[in-house]
Amino acid sequence: MNLEREARRLDETDPLPTLRDEFLVPPAPGGAHAETAYFAGNSLGLQPRTVAERLREELDDWATLAVEAHTRGRRPWVDYHERLREPTARLVGARPHEVVAMNSLTVNLHLMMASFYRPAGTRTRIVIEDSAFPSDSYAVASQAVHHGLDPARTVVRLTPRPGEDVLRTEDVIAHLERLGDTVALVLLGGVNYLTGQLMGIPAITKAGRAAGAVVGWDLAHAAGNVPLRLHDWDVDFAAWCTYKYLNSGPGAVAACFVHERHVRDASVPKLSGWWGTDPAVRFRMDPDIAPPASADAWQLSNPPIMALAPVLASLEIFDRVGMDALRAKSERLTGYLASRLASIEGLAVITPPDPAARGAQLSLRVDDAGALVRRLAETHGVVADAREPDVVRLAPVPLYCTFHDCHRAAEALHDLLP
């Protein structure tokens, strides 16, 4: 079988044609290929072609209307963030009043923990995975310190079984049952950044809440990657960035979810700012806040329009295509790449083999991962990323990656690995 011809056939016949032409794909070095095969969308997504025009429109409104653009712009700035509400809710399986786009991911996690991590008596512990993204580890440790607690005693780090690379859902549940009324907060990654494992969000959420804990999720690698049903799964809160699978640009505005049982509970404590007051009375400039019964109550400052414009442009693509269709294509692409990598003798893939237990990512354990990633880009135009010392991550993002890209990545690894 001609493997390259087969990959191109799969691209031509796939039920969801690639949207690659709607994105700006960097050129490949060396001239063998016009464009890179880009597998680093789990770190920074590619730029949608519509983003530049959207930014120009906002700059034009600023130039021609100045302050009046708050109310007279083509997309008035005063309520600009509200345009993101419904598409964001559809993306993560929420109700519109449960989501808000604001700040950055770790800032939002701290705001959520200010409300929902309320240690008292023996219920003080925070449960995270040992392979959590470092920012999450730093955030929960600092929250423990903020409450006068010792992070070494407060933060419980879950590790896989000996000889395994990922956590088993049943083991997480068993830990929560055993820890019982000592757990105040469960905060795990929906898709683990290092291994690409999709956690059992519904089952773990149910177990955490049964233990009396608040359950939050870091969805940095899950939003725009896998279908989510945050409201139906009874998640307490979640936060995610938008520059990875959501393609909104470096440092783009993040978002968060707060379940409606909390947004309707005025007794939930929160850190407040001007934009967290009801817009109906915001411009009365009252000294006392009147928070709305929505996730907007967690906002602090007026939204950065130039940073929100790319998020809105990206969400429109997701709305048009739909997460279910993207997930189905993701499973086809990732499955194809996994089958090609299986033929490389001795290559260890640490991502779960079950498509239902992973997102659009395959993590490979190799020696000198950084050097391999550089050689992939320089010699084959394949862009991946490394997590030192020994993990290479490949993310076949279904919006713009193709079966032919996967073929190129497999062939490059065949050439470069001993």
Residues that constitute the known binding site for pyridoxal 5'-phosphate = 105-106, 133-136, 218, 221, 243, 274, 302
Cβ atoms of 130 and 159 within 8 Å: the answer is yes
Cβ atoms of 129 and 188 within 8 Å: the answer is yes
Q: What is the DSSP string of 104-153?
A: -HHHHHHHHHHHH---BTTB-EEEEETT--HHHHHHHHHHHHHTT--HHH
Phi, psi torsion values for 167, nearest 5 degrees: -75, 145
Reply yes or no: is the peptide bond before residue 389 cis, omega within 30 of 0: yes
Task: Give the tokens for residue 282.
Answer: 């915001």
Task: Give the tokens for residue 329.
Answer: 């294509």
- CA 105, 109, 114, 116 dihedral sign is positive
Q: What's the chain's Rg over C-alpha atoms? A: 22
Cβ atoms of 114 and 269 within 8 Å: the answer is yes
Helix axes 403-416, 3-13, angle to 10 degrees: 160
Question: 154: helix, coil or strand?
Answer: helix
DSSP H or E run through 178:
helix 169-179
Cβ atoms of 103 and 254 within 8 Å: the answer is yes
Amino acid (one-letter) located at 245: Y
Q: What is the DSSP string of 301-336?
A: S---HHHHHHHHHHHHHHHHH-HHHHHHHHHHHHHH
- Residue 12 has a CB neighbour count (10 Å cut-off) of 9
Annotation: binding site: 105-106, 133-136, 218, 221, 243, 274, 302
- The CA distance from 257 to 143, in Å, is 20
User: Distances in Å between the alpha carbon of 37 and those of 19, 277, 380, 390?
Assistant: 14, 46, 9, 21
Q: How many CA atoms lie within 13 A of 202 on its CB side?
A: 8
Task: Give the tokens for residue 298.
Answer: 């967690």
